[in-house]
Structure 1
Amino acid sequence: MREFCRLSLIAWTVVGVLSIHCGPARAQAPAPEPDRWAVVRCGTLLAVPGKPAIEGATVYIKNGKVEAVAPRGEAGPTIAAGAEVTQVDLSRMFVLPGLIDCHVHMTSQTARDQRLMSLVKSDADNALDGVVYARRTIDAGFTTVRDVGSLGDACLALRDAINDGKIVGPRILASAKSIAATGGHADPTNGWRDDLFDVPGVEQGIADGPEAARQAVRLQVKRGADLIKITAT
């Protein structure tokens, strides 16, 4: 009798486990996020450099990328029901694609005391300056920039904050610290007294010879650089 009870208990336990694992799935997959559209109605549109501008065209932007350009009187792409649509009226404006600047330094600007400020300002100061310069850059029509040399982590943090939508600015491709030979253009100790700073090494982007150059590049890649800036002279 005890053996029968023990076997019955085991059988019901197995049935219960199978019921849990083999029962119909109740969890529902999350609903996909709706597409986000911007419909930009232009007065005059320069869509392709070198070709005539188009009067009265409409630009359709889907999830941040241009989906289509419809000349006046032509239908645009089909927008699915449930999509988020933003209407932008630029019918009195001349519209052109965002500009690209291939040589910027987003966390600094040329000034009489720029050299001194490199010693006075902290990485945090440079990051906050970068927020201001990023807004000026996007307001000037530049939607992508290539930052070719910066100190510290300010520019990399600025790039990431823009990508995350925390602040307004252009898309940044950052090189982080430029790489140079000792005494080269990107040697941060150039022009200062020898007793003010230690001799810079690969951590500061200084590379003398192929092995040091490889290490310097790998360090910038590790920090998150999108590209490498080398000053050969």
Structure 2
Amino acid sequence: MAGSLALNSLFTLANPLVITADRMVDVKAGKVIESAVVIIEDDVIVQAGHSKKIAIPDNAEVMALGDYTLMPGLMDMHVHLTSDPTKHGYSSLSVSVPRAAITGVKHAKDTLMAGFTTVRNVGAPGFTDVALRDAINDGDVQGPRMFVAGPSLGVTGGHCDNNLLPYGYHDKSEGVADGPWEVRKKVRENIKYGATVIKFCATGGVLSKGTKVGARQYTEEEMQALIEEAHLRGLTVATHAHGTSGIKAAIRSGVDSVEHVSLLDDEAIELAKKHGTYFSMDVYVTEYILGEGEKAGILPESLAKERIVGTKQRENFRKAVKAGVNMVFGSDAGVYPHGNNGKQFARMVTWGMTPMQAIQAATINSATLLKQQESLGSIEAGRKADVIAVKGNPLDNMALMEDVGLVVKDGQIVKSLAM
């Protein structure tokens, strides 16, 4: 073999990279493989499995990790990389679009270093997420692979509008669209300027001024037009929805994933199972909102709403998991500090998932939602070389997911164990 790698610097390798570790999570089979080996050439995994079944190439560079667990690069389906978690409520008005884009550069790197090699950015002003994605793809800045929504769509005065200023300012968010043809036009505009997913607000929200969390905001006719337009162009659609009526209307209209999902009934769960809809439930963020939110400028009205829905959402998370609803990992990072995404894993287990289910939610399930399961979300031959390593066995202690040691994205070591 060409040699063994030191673990304290970054690498782009000409020879095959071999990573060995005491264990590897096979997310498709839902099992752990002991004495694991992964072989990477360029940006692709060429072999992965038990060490007895794999021959290591003579010219390989070997990274022997020992007591680590290998997993696919993690995927977070609900982030806002250009959002500043220290500026909520009225303080958010001080953030310009260029400033948001620059802030996103820092947050993208923080997210990648936390082991999240792919994210879905569900809403950003001024197409700042498109610019950030392109900068990452061009190699100008470090960050995860991004699927981006551009401005979120919503009704006048709804959760996706800016309701902080009085009438005299005539201010509204750029994603506001009312009526079936207006929402179609807005979907087309987002796609024109680089969106690869569409996000809309079906109900009120916790952090918006003057909206009721459970109140539906788009009619079913509007939702159907919006989703149909996106699907015609091959894009998946996510909807912000806390309230039961909005959740059910969005599912009936063909939405691909429902975000937050705070208030549920049995009919909503059955509809999700029938339609194959994914739930993305941010069961950690309530701790930040109620613990640190006031200092970050979150409005008293919003804190009061979170006290009402936080526990209900977690109880409904348990119900959805038990019922077998498709689940993905969605943290809402941007409401709380980026790079802390991994804190949600332990909460997902506390509220009803097995450790394996939580890891699958952030890997193969998320890849399937994005229709990328043939290239992302698992460690197997032919997949993109996105691999992370966590010290010890996180299946025994999910808090270990908060400290990812090694991050490989597209075959490049972007974080090594000594960093």
Report the counterpart of residue 225 of structure 1 in structure 2. 195
The alignment-based identity, stated in percent, is 36
Report the counterpart of residue 38 of structure 2 in structure 1. 59
| TM-superposed deviation, 1:149 | 0.6
Mark the structure with the bigger radius of gyration. Answer: 1
| TM-superposed deviation, 1:156 | 1.0
Contact in 1 for aligned 2:18/2:56 (Cα 8 Å)? no
| TM-superposed deviation, 1:49 | 5.7
Contact in 1 for aligned 2:17/2:39 (Cα 8 Å)? yes
Question: Map of 1:182-201 to 2, 5 A cutoff?
Answer: 182-188=156-162, 190-198=163-171, 200=172
Aligned counterparts of 1:148 and 1:142: Cα–Cα separation in 2: 16
Q: TM-score normalised to the size of structure 1? A: 0.73
Aligned match for 2:184, one of 196, 214, 218: 214
> What's the secondary structure of 1:229's corresponding residue?
strand
Figure out how many residues of one structure are paired with residues of the other and give that number: 191
Aligned match for 1:165, one of 119, 136, 139: 139
| TM-superposed deviation, 1:35 | 7.6
**Does residue 129 of the first structure (1) align with residue 92 of the second (2)?**
no
Structure with more relative contact order (C-alpha pairs < 8 Å, separation 6 or more): 2
| TM-superposed deviation, 1:65 | 2.6
Report the counterpart of residue 52 of structure 2 in structure 1. 73
Question: Map of 1:1-233 to 2, 5 A cutoff?
Answer: 37-48=16-27, 51-76=30-55, 86-111=61-86, 113-188=87-162, 190-198=163-171, 200=172, 204-232=174-202, 233=217
RMSD of equivalent CA atoms: 2.5
Return closer, same or farther for 1:48/1:180 CA change in 2, 3 Å cut-off: same
Contact in 2 for aligned 1:68/1:77 (Cα 8 Å)? no
> What's the secondary structure of 1:143's corresponding residue?
strand
| TM-superposed deviation, 1:42 | 1.8
Letter in 1 for 2:97: D
- Where does structure 2 lack aligned partners over 5 or more consecutive residues? 1-12, 203-216, 218-419
Contact in 1 for aligned 2:47/2:54 (Cα 8 Å)? no
Contact in 1 for aligned 2:23/2:34 (Cα 8 Å)? yes
Report the counterpart of residue 26 of structure 1 in structure 2. none
Letter in 2 for 1:133: H
- Where does structure 1 lack aligned partners over 5 or more consecutive residues? 1-33
| TM-superposed deviation, 1:106 | 0.6
Q: TM-score normalised to the size of structure 2? A: 0.42
